[in-house]
Homo-oligomer: A and B are copies of this chain.
Amino acid sequence: MTHPVLINGEWLASSGSQTFQAVNPATMATIDGDYPVSPWDEIEVAIQAAAAASREMRGWPGERFAAFLETYADAIEARADELGDLANQETALPATPRLKDAELPRTTNQLRQAATAARSGSWTCPTIDTKASIRSMFGPIGPVAVFGPNNFPFAFNSIAGGDFAAAIAAGNPVIAKGHSSHPGTTRVFAEAALEAVQNTNMPRGFVQLIYRTTHNDGCRLVSHPLMGACGYTGSRSAGLKLKEAADRAGKPIYLELSSINPVVVLPGAIAERGAELAGEFTSSCLMGTGQFCTNPGLVLLLAGDATENFISAVADKFAEAPIGTFLSEGVQRNFAEGVAALQSAGATLLTGGQCGGGNGYSHQNTLLRVDGTTFLADPEALQAEAFGNGSLLVVADSAGQLAQLAEALEGNLTGCVYSDSAGSDDAVYDQIVPALRTKVGRLLNDKMPTGVAVSAAMNHGGPFPATGHPVFTAVGMPTAIHRFSMLQSYDAVRPHRLPPLLRDEPPGNGCWRLIDGEWSQSSVGA
């Protein structure tokens, strides 16, 4: 049986003839159930339905979207066990604690934070200039296509994750394109979403799901005149194809692509707490078999005896640590190719380097090393991402070279610096961080990058190629919502025709507004 797609409020048999199956990465066995590759006609129907929903929802208050998001979060929780078990089969990520105890609560928390943001309206930044009689706010942008990645089947799921929550909170319909590695998980989310759509009387085309498209149809989707924007998290090559199509059509596309998340461990920190840091780094790098967007794939070190001891300690820990299972055969293949490419570019293997060693699709925990001079001779090749349970250590011969390494980095989501508590590393810190700061979205001190709090101050973003635009973040409410909006100014518009959040007397939902240069929750003139 081929699973149906969710189009215009109904589960419909796909008109496509091609199908695919999910694979259990731990057993390498296919999982029962065929999923369709949607042909263009079907996608066009979804776009038209989303556009109709968009038109119908014009001017709706945030409360409507908040109610949907909260109802949906409840519906997800009611199916938590089923989701955990299915996702475990499809991704080999542990059902507990990872999926049920960490990622699922994070996902429903994100949906509820998005609901809170939609309800208060503060994310719309109402701005009032009483003297010029101009008022502005952010409003919905139109139908949003969300492409989810393989590595977070819940928190970044195309029909339940951060991009979905942000697009909905802004008041837009979503066309979700599920990731092929966990279609069953995505289907259960979609069932819960449809239930919430019906229970909160949202339009039929508000939330839709297709499982797979051709690359060409993906490009047609993100560049369609009726679409508003796209959120994409996934591989760099597929993302860049979508970006090119969307850019040409002038459609905003928000991408989360590759990131190697440099970690600088300075000598004083190693002298002070080297053994502890070796453990901390190893846990962060191997967690989830290294399949995190913020996985620390590059470590910058300063040459010296203490550093050599640190490297040995990390290599021992990598060799001893259990080997996890990858999300798919593709991850295994790409990781092995990535490790080989780093070696071709001059890196040497300290430990690991072979496929296998764990259940199903797997690869030995792998540590590579290169000196700073070699890195600087070919920085592009030596910072190509190898997505998985491995990292490249770069040993600089001087603080000046360490600073050069920081200047040679591409854009990344994060950059971490470990220094000692007594201040002996401070001079070097000051030499490298100004450069590092311009290359990363989030700068950390004495902390690994793999935790990503859902906070208004979070930046899960950064310069290209980490993302497509360095002003925006994919995580954090209400900041992530702006991506799916447009700025709308009202010039001399008659007072009764203004959206409620821009009127002199705002609705009583505590929205923060910038009135003549002052932030306030009060009425104009109060």
Chain A residues engaging chain B, CB cutoff 8 angstroms: 55, 58-59, 127-129, 132, 134-136, 138-139, 141-142, 243-244, 247-252, 411, 414, 429, 433-435, 437-438, 441-447, 453, 455-459, 461-465, 468-473, 479, 482-483, 485-494, 497, 512, 514, 517-520
Contact = CB atoms under 8 A, between A and B. Distances in A.
B493 A444 contact: yes
Given A447-B491, A492-B444, A463 B438 contact: no
A459 B487 contact: yes
A141 B463 CA distance: 9
Given A437-B488, A442-B491, A457 B252 contact: no
B247 A463 contact: no
Nearest to A495: B445
Nearest to A251: B464
Nearest to A58: B434
Given A471-B486, A487-B471, A457 B127 contact: yes
> Which of the listed residues A438, A442, A491 has the most CB atoms from chain B within 10 Å of its own CB?
A491
Contact of A250 (B445, B456, B468, B518): B468
A58 to B, nearest CB: 4
A131 to B, nearest CB: 8
B447 A492 contact: yes
A504 B312 CA distance: 40
A453 B134 contact: yes
Please give me the 7 A-B residue pairs with the lowest Cβ-Cβ distance, nearest first.
A250-B464, A519-B519, A459-B489, A470-B486, A247-B247, A442-B489, A134-B457
Contacts of A435: 55, 58
Contacts of A465: 250
15 contacts: A58-B435, A129-B455, A132-B453, A132-B458, A250-B411, A441-B486, A442-B488, A443-B489, A443-B490, A445-B494, A456-B514, A456-B517, A457-B489, A463-B486, A470-B487
A456 B488 contact: no
Given A132-B457, A141-B470, A443-B490, 17 more contacts: A55-B435, A58-B437, A127-B456, A136-B457, A136-B459, A252-B469, A252-B470, A438-B486, A443-B488, A443-B493, A453-B491, A458-B491, A461-B487, A463-B486, A470-B487, A471-B482, A512-B518
